[in-house]
Chain A
Amino acid sequence: MNHILIAKVVIAGFAGCTLASAGAAEQVVKPSQAEIVMKASFKDRGQAKLDRLEQDETQRLCSQYPEKRPADVAKKIEAINMKLMKYPADGKLMGDWKEGEKIAQSGVGKQFSDNPANPSGGNCYACHQLTKEEISFGNIGPSLYNFGKLRGYTDAMQKYAYGKIYNAEAYSACTNMPRFGHNGILTEQQMRHVTALLMDPNSPVNK
């Protein structure tokens, strides 16, 4: 009896391993071993301390399932992050698109070579097309050109845009987009400016 039970547990364990494996290669190393090596291989520098190697549940799950992930895992990640969503207390989501454009252009911030006293940028152009004028844009994220014009200048869309900037994981599990509000990269005021860049009818994004 005991033997059968143990066999079942072992099989269940294996099934878990198979699910967890990212690619074709077998999982020889337990996550903890790689983590121990990582911790011993980095050192604090400037504002970037070793605690940045530690993962929250979202980071852990997205590392575990880098390409495809079961639907329940994706749902769980989105739910965890939606719970943590915070909107400005005064309900004002729109700032100045001109300030938003500056934030979208700037890639400064959070690197060990950056001065933490300076505000971070959003570096939106690294991954997105935004305006016609800026032709040096990346394509890891979708084009956001005409973002408001195409979707309508509604309050609901403003809220969606702000929410996406604050914590994109709440809408799209394991997105490449940083959680600018949740992780304290941008301030509330900066996120309002970027929301305006996307949603103000006068913004070059919507021209």
Chain B
Amino acid sequence: MNKISQAAFAAALVMASLTGALVATSSSAQSSGDAAVKEIEKYRQALGDGNPAELWEARGEDLWKQKRGPNKVSFEQCDIGLGPGKVKGAYAVLPKYFEDTDKVEDLESRLVTCMVMLQGYTYQQAKKGPFGSPEHKSDIEALVAYVTAESRGLKMNVAGNHPKEKEAFEIGKKMFFHRGGPHDFGCVTCHGADNTRIRLQDLPNLTRKEAAQRAYTSWPAYRVSQGELRSFQWRLNDCFRQQRFPELEFTSQGSIALTMYLAKNATGGVLTAPSIKR
């Protein structure tokens, strides 16, 4: 716990001094804008030296192996894509169709499925508090950290051939281009063009293969500004908040469909997750 708060504090200091440096430079707006982008890139590299995601990975591994729930069984018989108990490489093939539920599932929904089918929790219990906060630790986010870390260095390889996988991809694609709400925003508003930024934040063009690969494979991630490890379900939820949409429901069919679209587009990208971000 001390380790985390120290890391977060150090990072905050770096950010604060950086912001100071940025404000101080103002020869011309455009060139200082470019300089600021370079400084932020340096900051990102510095962050990569120590990633508190390790703490979530370790807690996730414990949770995976513990006997839990009314049935007192571990996740070790849970099939998350490559068969019961196989963790290594599983994240690289998700989302995928599972016969036992007759659904396309992503990692988070599959963890919920195992908590219900193997461990005996109710769906309500399994889906409760999926995103962590200082007051509440999320078991799902820890499990996500452990499972994804076991696929680090492997290439994304979503099959997408099953009719339900194809259907999910097409629905996800529609969602990506769906503009609505008071601001007329869709995913495509921020993620449909090259070399764009919001303020100084770079935006990946998710309609382009290389950028889609780089972005998708860096999630989940430890977010320094929040002091939390964030799952891909969280990433989508918070994007839609900023899009001024209603709340995306955790592990809903639409959330998995959009993940399918983005994961399939990232095929061949090397997984670097859990990574560390500002």
Interface of A is mostly: loop
Shortest B221–chain A CB gap in Å is: 20
Which of the candidate stretches B77-85, B135-143, B175-183, B210-218 sits at the interface with the other chain?
A: B175-183
Report Cα–Cα, A164/B30, bound state, in Å: 24
Interface centre among B190, B245, B248, B257 (most CB of A within 10 A): B245
Interface size on B, residues (CB 8 A): 55
Contact of A184 among B22, B30, B182, B186 (CB under 8 A): B182
Contact of A110 among B36, B182, B196, B249 (CB under 8 A): B182
B73 within 8 A of A: no
B268 within 8 A of A: no
Question: Nearest chain-B residue to A22 (Cβ)?
Answer: B177
A202 within 8 A of B: no
Chain A, residues 19-50, CB within 8 Å of chain B (1/0): the string is 00011010111010111011011111100111
A132 / chain B contacts, CB cutoff of 8 Å: 26, 28-29
A136 touches B36 (CB 8 A): yes
Which of the candidate stretches A8-16, A53-61, A188-196 sits at the interface with the other chain?
A: A53-61
B180 touches A55 (CB 8 A): yes
Question: Nearest chain-B residue to A60 (Cβ)?
Answer: B179
Contact of B29 among A33, A52, A63, A145 (CB under 8 A): A145
Report Cα–Cα, A28/B261, bound state, in Å: 14
Shortest A50–chain B CB gap in Å is: 5
Question: Nearest chain-B residue to A51 (Cβ)?
Answer: B246
A59 touches B180 (CB 8 A): yes
A183 / chain B contacts, CB cutoff of 8 Å: 182-184
A18 within 8 A of B: no
Report Cα–Cα, A140/B253, bound state, in Å: 31
Interface centre among A29, A45, A127, A178 (most CB of B within 10 A): A29
A152 within 8 A of B: no
A138 touches B246 (CB 8 A): no
Shortest A34–chain B CB gap in Å is: 4
Which of the candidate stretches B60-68, B91-99, B121-129, B165-173 sits at the interface with the other chain?
A: B165-173
Report Cα–Cα, A203/B248, bound state, in Å: 41
Question: Nearest chain-B residue to A135 (Cβ)?
Answer: B32
A88 within 8 A of B: no
B167 / chain A contacts, CB cutoff of 8 Å: 28-29
Shortest B22–chain A CB gap in Å is: 7
Which of the candidate stretches B197-205, B223-231, B269-277 sits at the interface with the other chain?
A: B197-205
B247 touches A42 (CB 8 A): yes
Give A107-139 interface residues, CB cut-off 8 Å to B. 110-113, 125-127, 129, 131-139
A157 / chain B contacts, CB cutoff of 8 Å: none
Question: Nearest chain-B residue to A184 (Cβ)?
Answer: B182
B242 within 8 A of A: yes
B29 touches A135 (CB 8 A): yes
B247 touches A45 (CB 8 A): yes
Report Cα–Cα, A67/B195, bound state, in Å: 16
Question: Nearest chain-A residue to B190 (Cβ)?
Answer: A140
Shortest B41–chain A CB gap in Å is: 15
Report Cα–Cα, A135/B30, bound state, in Å: 7
Shortest A159–chain B CB gap in Å is: 22
Q: Which residues of chain A have a CB within 8 Å of any CB of chain B?
A: 22-23, 25, 27-29, 31, 33-35, 37-38, 40-45, 48-50, 52-55, 58-59, 62-63, 66-67, 110-113, 125-127, 129, 131-140, 145, 169, 176, 178-179, 183-185
21 example contacts (A-B, Cβ-Cβ < 8 A) are as follows A29-B167, A33-B171, A34-B174, A37-B253, A41-B248, A41-B249, A42-B245, A42-B254, A44-B247, A53-B245, A55-B178, A62-B179, A63-B180, A66-B177, A111-B241, A111-B242, A126-B198, A136-B22, A145-B29, A183-B182, A183-B183
Given A29-B170, A34-B171, A48-B246, 17 additional A-B pairs, CB 8 A: A34-B175, A37-B254, A38-B175, A41-B252, A48-B245, A66-B177, A66-B186, A110-B181, A112-B247, A126-B198, A126-B199, A129-B33, A132-B26, A137-B199, A138-B198, A139-B195, A183-B184
